């Protein structure tokens, strides 16, 4: 598990096959995590449980399909490179009769692998090594968009450097002053805050906010709306930068900590950080 933060203490041992957790309420969101590196799946599952989300783990694509056929899930997290049946094929089969959000996990970080992932129906793509807390934040973001787990995920409020964002109420404030954001501006700020302080590239932001495949104009669209959000934040606090540009990589919240991120994980990868002009 090179590069995976393993500071989570697991309880109850490692599950080799799918095994349900007892649900505490009917409105609890339910996530299936499938990875042949079962320790990785268990770390993420444990963090989800701490957030009030029911999590199951399994180690093969066939086990995942069997679990989905017999249980009601709100999301599936899939490793791509698994023996027997890879994540691409599992996703194809899920898409034949279900509209579940699917997040791919993969050591493949090339554009072709990611394009194929989105073509077979993935909603998001996370490369290994990854920060478990950041993956959990992405899972919660997708659950909130689908309205799953109203008792936990939908009520999750994100906070960073005085910004408070409530996805279910579609309300954002800075130091308790309402931010007059358009739908696109709100979704863009939400995507950045849900990333837990990690850098998000423009192509990924475009997919999450505009819900389409990036094109020749997508990078400029993201840049323009980043500028809009910065301007509205600056109207309330003009002497502070809230969104960083990491040159050649993407954007991130300038504050190091976004509420909900309990552990420090690995250092970020390559990329020189900088902050745009407002």
Domains of the chain: 30-146 (3.40.50.2300), 158-274 (1.10.10.10)
pLDDT of residue 237: 94
* 262 pLDDT more than 90: no
pLDDT digits (tens, 9 = 90+) for 204-222: 899 888 877 888 888 999 9
Q: What is the pLDDT of residue 222?
A: 95
Mean pLDDT over all residues of the chain?
78
Task: Choose between 197 and 256: higher pLDDT.
Answer: 197
Nearest in space to 33 (alpha carbons), one of 45, 19, 46, 17: 45
Could you give the percent of the chain with pLDDT greater than 70?
A: 78
pLDDT at 4: 39
Q: How many CB atoms lie under 10 A from the CB of residue 81?
A: 16
Name the nearest CA neighbour of 164 among 197, 187, 143, 190: 190
Q: Specify the pLDDT at position 147.
A: 66
Query: What pLDDT band is residue 15 in, cutting at 50, 70 and 90?
Result: very low
| pLDDT at residue 25 tops 70 | no
What was the pLDDT predicted at 89? 93
Kindly report the length of the chain.
Answer: 278
pLDDT band at 255 (very low <50, low <70, confident <90, very high): low
108-139 confidence digits (pLDDT tens): 777 888 888 888 888 888 888 888 888 888 89
Q: What is the pLDDT of residue 271?
A: 32
96 pLDDT band (50/70/90 cuts)?
confident
Most confident of 15-19, 51-55, 110-114: 51-55
pLDDT above 90: percentage of residues in the chain: 33
> Is pLDDT of 20 > 90?
no
**Once rounded to an integer, what is the mean pLDDT over residues 230-242?**
94
pLDDT confidence of 3, banded at 50, 70, 90?
A: very low
**Range from 5-9, 89-93, 232-236 carrying the lowest mean pLDDT:** 5-9
């Amino acid at each position: 598990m090179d590069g995976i933060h393993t500071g989570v203490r697991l309880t109850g041992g490692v599950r080799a096959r799918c095994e349900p957790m007892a649900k505490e309420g009917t409105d609890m969101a339910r996530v299936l995590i499938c990875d042949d590196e079962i320790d990785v799946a268990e770390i993420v599952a444990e963090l989800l449980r701490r957030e009030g989300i029911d999590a199951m783990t399994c180690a093969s694509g066939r086990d995942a399909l069997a679990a989905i056929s017999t249980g009601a899930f709100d999301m599936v997290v899939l490793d791509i490179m698994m023996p027997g049946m890879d994540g691409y094929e599992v996703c194809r089969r899920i898409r034949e009769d279900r509209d579940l959000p699917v997040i791919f996990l993969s050591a493949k970080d090339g554009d072709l692998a990611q394009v194929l992932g989105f073509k077979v129906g993935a909603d998001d793509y996370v490369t290994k090594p990854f920060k478990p807390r950041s993956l959990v934040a992405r899972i919660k973001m997708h659950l909130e968009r689908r309205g799953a787990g109203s008792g936990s995920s939908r009520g999750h409020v994100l906070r960073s450097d005085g910004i408070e964002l409530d996805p279910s109420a579609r309300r954002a404030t800075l130091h308790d002053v309402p931010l007059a954001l358009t739908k696109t501006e709100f979704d863009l700020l939400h995507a950045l805050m849900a990333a837990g302080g990690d850098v998000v590239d423009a192509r990924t932001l475009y997919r999450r906010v505009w819900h389409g495949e990036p094109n020749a104009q997508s990078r400029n669209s993201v840049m323009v709306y980043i500028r809009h959000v910065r301007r509205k934040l600056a109207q309330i606090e003009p002497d502070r930068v809230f969104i960083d540009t990491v040159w050649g990589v993407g954007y991130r919240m300038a504050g190091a900590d976004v509420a909900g991120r309990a552990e420090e994980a690995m250092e970020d990868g390559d990329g020189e950080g900088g902050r745009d002009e407002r």
